[in-house]
Amino acid sequence: MREYYAQRAREYELVYHKPHRQQALRRIEAWLTEVFADRCVLEIASGTGWWVPHAAARAAAWWATDLNPETLAVAQAKTLPASVRFAQVDAYTLQGLPDERFDACFAGCWWSHVPLQRLDTWLASVHAALPVGARVVMLDNAYVEGDSTPVTRFDEHGNGYQRRSLLDGSQHEVLKNFPSQAEVLARLGPRAEAVRWHDFGYYWAVDYRLDR
Ligand SMILES: C[S@@+](CC[C@H](N)C(=O)[O-])C[C@H]1O[C@@H](n2cnc3c(N)ncnc32)[C@H](O)[C@@H]1O
């Protein structure tokens, strides 16, 4: 995962240029602007920062974090709202997190890459880093027949894998899960309340507030 996305950093955003996805992307971008208004947001696995200009537009503070310097560098080269800062943080350990009073969290197209056997622990550690009342948004790809890259195999845990190629011709096998709404909601755990599911066609999102 880490190496694949480091290698893909410079061509990553081609995936956001697909003409038929533009309408869904504009809807999501507008929604994210509203959701995070006035919030101090921790973004996990922010990558090249596709969502940042929109999601951080009205945020009080926005920390875009990713493990790869290569993807962070693409994001840092963009013109972004003054509230945006960057940090190199591993999504699993959250080591390197800045000393901030986050009251929101966002992860785009990351859930689908978390092995199913690590999902509960990862979510619990994210929740543990947030206070009561924090707003959380998970956004990810929906599987669209004929458009999404096919899943070619499943492992013993039920994780799916896709075969992907980069512009340099290199081939990669990447773990990518496409959970149903019921599977996502079942994972959120006891602290999630006011849970809302959003179907954006090519993408799904869930947003909720942390209780207790
Ligand atoms: C599918 S991209 C998502 C990027 C961005 N959030 C988006 O929605 O366009 C996955 C990102 O996860 C990052 N990544 C891989 N392993 C990671 C880890 N252990 N911790 C944090 N980020 C990681 C990659 O560098 C990549 O930027």
Convert the pLDDT of each residue in 42-79 to its tens digit: 999 999 999 999 999 999 999 999 999 999 999 999 99
Over residues 182-210, mean pLDDT: 97
Report the distance separating Cα 203 and Cα 95, nearest Å. 29
> What is the tens place of the pLDDT at every residue in 152-192?
999 999 999 999 999 999 999 999 999 999 999 999 999 99
Over residues 38-45, mean pLDDT: 98
CB of 71 closer than 6 angstroms to any ligand 1 atom: yes
CB of 87 closer than 6 angstroms to any ligand 1 atom: no
Over residues 84-89, mean pLDDT: 97
Residue with the smallest CA separation from ligand 1 atom 1 is 109
Q: Supply 166's token pair.
A: 């980069």
In the chain, % of residues over pLDDT 90: 97
Ligand 1 centroid–CA 47 distance in Å is 5
Q: Which atom of ligand 1 is nearest to the CA of 68?
A: 25
CB of 60 closer than 6 angstroms to any ligand 1 atom: no
What's the pLDDT at 126?
A: 97
pLDDT-wise least confident of 7-11, 181-185, 198-202: 7-11
Ligand 1 centroid–CA 201 distance in Å is 22
In the chain, % of residues over pLDDT 70: 100
Cross-sheet strand order for the sheet of 203-210: 84-88, 61-66, 40-44, 104-108, 135-141, 203-210, 192-199
CB of 66 closer than 6 angstroms to any ligand 1 atom: yes
Ligand 1 centroid–CA 110 distance in Å is 6
What's the pLDDT at 203?
A: 98
What's the pLDDT at 210?
A: 97
Ligand 1 centroid–CA 131 distance in Å is 24
CB of 28 closer than 6 angstroms to any ligand 1 atom: no
Using pLDDT thresholds of 50, 70 and 90, give the confidence band for residue 87: very high
**121 — phi, psi (to 5°)?**
-65, -40
Among 211, 146, 207, 138, CA closest to 179? 138
What's the pLDDT at 69?
A: 97
> What is the tens place of the pLDDT at every residue in 117-160?
999 999 999 999 999 999 999 999 999 999 999 999 999 999 99
CB of 68 closer than 6 angstroms to any ligand 1 atom: yes
Ligand 1 centroid–CA 20 distance in Å is 24
Q: Is 44 helix (H, G, I), strand (E, B) or coil?
A: strand
What's the pLDDT at 212?
A: 81
Level-2 CATH architecture, domain 2-210: 3-Layer(aba) Sandwich (3.40)
What's the pLDDT at 77?
A: 97
Mean pLDDT of the chain: 96
CB of 49 closer than 6 angstroms to any ligand 1 atom: no
CB of 24 closer than 6 angstroms to any ligand 1 atom: no
Q: What's the N-to-C CA distance of the chain in angstroms?
A: 33
Given a cut of 90, is residue 96 above it in pLDDT? no
Instruction: Tell me which DSSP letter residue 150 carries.
Output: P
**82 — phi, psi (to 5°)?**
-65, -20
Among 152, 159, 151, 139, CA closest to 202? 139
19: burial class by Cβ within 10 Å (0-12, 13-18, 19+)? exposed
